[in-house]
Amino acid sequence: MKRLKIEALAKSVPEMRVSNDDLAEFIETSDEWISQRTGIKNRRVSLFDNTSDLCAKAAKELLSKTSTEASEIDLIIVATMTPDSATPSTAAIVQGKIGAKNAVAFDISVACSGFVYALVTAASMLDSKHAKKALVIGGEVLSKSLDWSDRTTCVLFGDGAAGALINCDFDGDSALLGYSLKSFGEDSDKLSCQKTLPLAKFPPESNKKTATPFEMDGRAVYNFTTKIVPTVIKAAVEDSGLGLDQIDRFVLHQANARIIKVIAKKLHQPLEKFPENISEYGNTSGASIPLLLSELSEQKELVRGETMLLCGFGGGLCAGACVIRY
């Protein structure tokens, strides 16, 4: 168990809201086709704002909500698969944008599992006294990495950022109770984004640099998720010393409404324990879990002392789950 308190949650989503019908105007698809297979009705698309811009807006909101000065932040971790650049890290750019001059800042690249990995990493650093206050943010601008002519992928994803301000200096019982993180690199080819290639000839024939758009073997990822994720969830719950029935809420990565239903069934847990917002935002990868948490907080759904499980899964292929006493 690691002492950990989520002091506040906040989100930043682009203003542009794109419906399934909007997509049907320029690709061969329909609202019925998308919604029946995924549960998605809308998604947000960022114009001009990059990943660091959305993350910085969420960070500023977190500071405002908690009356925290940027100089009080010791650690910033951004979970993203769509960084502004390979270097500097998106977290470092966010640090500069908000003026958190005392913070260590770095990114974690674990795609849709990223926020869970980042939260566990931050908890370990706070528990070891290397930091007291941290910003843990998941942010994506997936729209810049999609092939908008590929209806098998472009209809699934959306842009956004959300995060938590956490600390270990508090009175109360809030804690990270247990976790399980798993990677399956043998299946790394099943989902990729912004893949670059080494030189095939020197001197190179062209100085043009290219990176591949988002690519996914949807059937393989679905099979992986429905088979592996329940086992990772069970491992995290076992690590916490609790039973599945003692978990008040399962906050899963919002990849596909059908996947969430399958996981709930395999865990023998009522679907009412599995909140969703995929219909409005689509799959926002590393942002999806904190985005859902932020909305639950806004709706006054979260209760201090409740036990929740967070679980992300996807690119890597990877999966991660953690149990938190809120």
Catalytic residues: 112, 253, 283
Q: Tokens 């549960």 identify what position? A: 39
Q: At what angle do helices 31-38 and 257-267 cross, to 10 degrees?
A: 20
- C-alpha span between 108 and 91 (Å, rounded): 9
- Judge contact between 177 and 324, C-beta under 8 A: yes
> 3-class SS at 272?
helix
- Judge contact between 90 and 117, C-beta under 8 A: no
- Judge contact between 27 and 149, C-beta under 8 A: yes
- Judge contact between 138 and 291, C-beta under 8 A: yes
As beta bridge partners, residue 279 has none
Cis peptide before 317 (omega within 30 of 0): yes
- C-alpha span between 166 and 314 (Å, rounded): 25
Tokens of 262: 């399958």
Phi-psi region of 90 (alpha: psi -120 to 50; beta: other; left: phi over 0): alpha
- C-alpha span between 309 and 273 (Å, rounded): 10
Q: Which segments within 280-317 are labelled E, that is strand?
A: 307-314
Give exposure, 149-183, as e/b (b: 16+ Cβ within 10 Å): eebebbbbbbbbbbbbbbbbeeeeebbbbbbbbbe
Q: Give the β-pairing of 215-216 and 191-192.
A: antiparallel
Closest CA to 43 of 52, 34, 33: 34
